[in-house]
Amino acid sequence: GLLMSIAVFPGIFLAVPVGLVVNKYGFRLLGFLSTVLVAVGSFTTALANTFITAMFGRFILGVGGAFIIVGMPTVIPQWFSHKDLGKAMGIYGTNMPVATITAFPISTILAQDFGWHYPFYVGTMVALITALIFAVVIREGPLKGERRPVGVEEVKRAVKNAEVWKASLVWMFFNTAAIAFLSWAKTLFQDFKGLDPFYSSIMASVFMYVAVAFVPLFGWASDRSGRRKPFMVAGSITMALALVATAYASSLSLLLTLMVLGIAAATVPPIVMTIPPESLPPNLAGTAFSIVTLCQNIGITLSAPLGGYLIQTTGDLSLTFFGMSLFSFAAAVTALTLKNK
């Protein structure tokens, strides 16, 4: 558990400083170096023969990841105006579900057949290839604005921007609910619904597969309609209701409920990512996305322990899913306070 969470901690403590660095220097060189850092961290972990070395490797990986998570979304508003930002962020928003769907089965097979070191060797190669692609492909766009030192007053203005914080809190609540579900769904389906391990795993992954297909669609729809807030509010409420319904569904109704859950969850990522660049000028995008990343990592860090706590204290499937759903309801309430249309 500590090895898993140590890679997330840098994203909490370094998010705001990383945002300031991205504001000042841009992300082209920093993105390349941070991707190389991910490769170094992965390779160090692969070679580790002690717990301390593995921790060190994971920490290095987390530092590189913190730069990538904060910096990468700052490039997108440099190429797309506000009226097209939803479509672009919708495509960008598929990164986590696609990566999760791809990485989990591959790493499981590699670990079972060749040992736990091999997923990290493969991760090292993937990171190095990504760094090369990044260096060749990524350029700063025509909408980047003037690259100049950002003053203290400008940073204060960014940090005090209520819309960015509201969107970030929606993202935190969303991640808490979504990752808690993904962390415990398989176990809950086995223990409370009596499903076999393979079928439980398939049902738990329906959420991600469906979300991948719909995230770009909702990004496009928000651009087309010129509205952002209704998607987040309706999606978060529907997600909460689907989580509650999952406890009572079985067989075909369970599959349909999980599909609704995935569709509802797909409304949030593209909208959350459009609000910071719409609320602040391009030279403050690093600070804006550092707040988003800070809240995201807090939500991720809390999610699995929260799910475990609900299971342990209630011993009840419906109460566990109801507890998760409260975070989706909190996301909907927070989204209602946004001034964005």
Give the pLDDT of residue 286: 86
**249 neighbors 238 (Cβ within 8 angstroms):** no
Give the pLDDT of residue 44: 95
DSSP label at residue 341: -
pLDDT (mean) for 103-113: 83
Give the pLDDT of residue 25: 83
**150 neighbors 26 (Cβ within 8 angstroms):** no
User: How does the average pLDDT of the chain come out, rounded?
Assistant: 89
Pairwise pLDDT comparison (21 vs 171), residue with the higher score? 171
Nearest Cα to Cα of residue 170 among 232, 240, 82, 243: 232
User: pLDDT digit string (tens) for 56-82?
Assistant: 999 999 999 989 988 999 899 889 888
pLDDT at 1 over 60: no
Q: Residue 164 has which token pair?
A: 């960015």
Question: For residues 206 and 185, what is the distance between their CA atoms, to the nearest angstrom?
Answer: 11
Question: For residues 266 and 217, what is the distance between their CA atoms, to the nearest angstrom?
Answer: 9
